[in-house]
Amino acid sequence: MTLSASHPLMDGRTAGSPLITAYRGGAPSRRPVWFMRQAGRSLPEYRKVREGIGMLESCLKPELAAEITLQPVRRHDVDAGIFFSDIVIPLRLAGVDVDIVPGVGPVLGSPVRSASDVRKLPRLEDSALDPIREAVALTVAELGSTPLIGFAGAPFTLAAYMVEGKPSRDHLGPRTMMHADPEAWQALAAWAADASGAFLRAQLEAGASAGQLFDSWAGSLGLADYERHVAAASARALDHVRDLGAPLVHFGTGTSELLAAMRSVGVDVVGVDYRLPLDEASRRLGGTTPLQGNIDPALLNAPWEVLEGHVREVLAAGAAAPGHVVNLGHGVPPETDPAVLTRVVDLIHSIAPGESPL
Ligand code: 1CP
């Protein structure tokens, strides 16, 4: 199957945009930039519309989710919207008892610790994804020629919450399970892959022009564990959407040693965190893969001259790759001054593609 003729990627709206052009390794008309977590607490207009509404509830109100997705695009002139949702939304839509607790993060009523817990997981029904489709359709109608990026959590990162029942530092639960009870692990990873795959497919079919798989916590895995116990499930999540032909991005943090393995699950673009310069990341990938990243979020709070110097270095290092979409090395910290983000976007757009940033 492919996307419908009226989809933004097919009807001429976004296929030639700077973002999609760079994701496909072409020559964009300006340097594309967007920020992970560009929607959210750094914006006063976000805090205002979220007042008194729970995080997951706000994701399931289509008008509100569309409005929050659009806020940073209007404010910063970024080259993409990222759909306002969360990686645990497919769990909630399947009927899993999960909530996002303010100041904590995703919390499950019953952690998934055994093969029998996995067997009890409910199926995600296709119709449950309707609020997501509706929110995406409202968003892309407003975005016009600016592409929307859809996303989903990779099975390991989702399982990190499902096994522990809450955020953790070292993700010991899932890392123990993959060795101690590999069958239960495989079943859990397959369940998560199918839930995330269906969530991403709903967004792409409804109008998103690219998809990003977030394996935020993959960096807690060694390469051997990633290849043996995790990569196949991430590939399975993406198998749900490959036929649509939209560019696919894979991102994690602390993944400097995993970049090639993360590419080999079958993606067009690799997202790099702030730890590894992009020229070195590109070298590790044989110079053939477009990259996304990797301004250090810590520097958003540094004096402008320091931040500007760093941004210019990121642009210079990114020239080593066959395509570069500028982003942060992880999400926007909530205390970031939004005016600084706008200024970073203006700086990046002021340096023509091909012009030396240094
Ligand atoms: O009330 C709030 O504002 C809660 C903060 C918040 C927001 C704004 C959470 C809770 N999720 C989100 C939205 C969100 N989550 C987006 C869309 C908006 C955007 O990027 O502009 C996306 C892409 C995510 C994805 C997500 N959720 C990831 C992967 C990206 C990453 O940051 O690594 C992860 C790991 C989550 C889990 C999650 N959701 C929320 C929190 C605080 C966390 C992390 C908790 C932890 O383990 O430390």
pLDDT digits (tens, 9 = 90+) for 253-270: 999 999 999 999 999 999
- State residue 323's pLDDT score: 98
The Cβ-side half-sphere exposure at 308, using a 13 Å CA radius, reads 10
Q: Model ipTM?
A: 0.92
Indicate which residue of 13, 79, 86, 273 is catalytic: 86
- State yes or no: 216 annotated in a binding site: yes
pLDDT single digits (tens) 81-106: 999 999 999 999 999 999 999 999 99
pLDDT at 220 over 90: yes
* Catalytic status, residue 275: no
In whole angstroms, give the CA distance from residue 223 to residue 112: 24
- CATH number (3.20.20.210, 1.20.81.30, 3.40.50.740, 3.30.1310.10) of 18-350 reads 3.20.20.210
Distance CA(265)–CA(206), nearest Å, equals 24
Whether 204 contacts 3, CB under 8 Å: yes
What pLDDT does residue 1 have?
A: 78
Q: 268: which strand partners?
A: none
Residue 327: cis peptide before it, omega within 30 degrees of 0: no
DSSP-based helix, strand, coil % in the chain, nearest 5 = 50, 10, 40
What is the reported pLDDT for 44? 96
Q: 246: closest CA among 267, 216, 262?
A: 267
pLDDT digits (tens, 9 = 90+) for 325-349: 999 999 999 999 999 999 999 999 9
Backbone angles phi, psi at 318, to 5 degrees: -65, -20
Ligand 1 pocket test target in 33, 36, 37 with most atoms within 8 Å of CB: 37
DSSP assigned state of 250:
E
Q: Which two tokens stand for residue 43?
A: 């914006």
Nearest CA to ligand 1 atom 19: 37
CA distance linking residue 30 with residue 326, whole number of Å: 11
86 carries an active-site annotation: yes
Would the annotation count 39 as a binding residue?
yes
Predicted confidence (pLDDT) at residue 60 exceeds the cutoff of 90: yes
Q: Which residues, in sequence order, are CB contacts of 131 under 8 Å at separation 6+?
A: 60, 61, 62, 65
Is 25 known to sit in a ligand binding site?
A: no
Report the nearest-CA residue for atom 24 of ligand 1: 86
Contact, 9 vs 20, CB < 8 A?
A: yes
Cα of 40 from ligand 1 centre, angstroms: 9
105: buried, middle or exposed (CB in 10 Å: 19+, 13-18, 0-12)? middle
Query: Catalytic residue at 30?
Result: no
* CA 86 to ligand 1 center in whole angstroms: 6
Q: Residue 328 in contact with residue 295, Cβ under 8 Å?
A: yes
β pairing state of 291-295 and 269-271: parallel
**Does 274 qualify as catalytic in the annotation?**
no
In angstroms, the CA 126 to CA 163 distance is 24
- Whether 4 has a binding-site annotation, put simply, is no
Angle between helices 62-76 and 338-350 (to 10 degrees): 60
Residues with CB under 6 A from ligand 1: 36-41, 55, 82, 84-87, 100, 102, 105-106, 151, 157, 167, 214, 216, 331
Does 294 have pLDDT greater than 90?
Answer: yes
Q: Is 41 one of the catalytic residues?
A: yes
Minimum CA distance residue for ligand 1 atom 44: 105
161 is in an annotated binding site: yes
Spell out the domain ranges in the chain. 18-350
Q: Alpha-carbon dihedral of residues 270, 171, 87, 163, nearest 10 degrees?
A: 140
Measured from the CA of 39, which atom of ligand 1 is nearest? Answer: 21
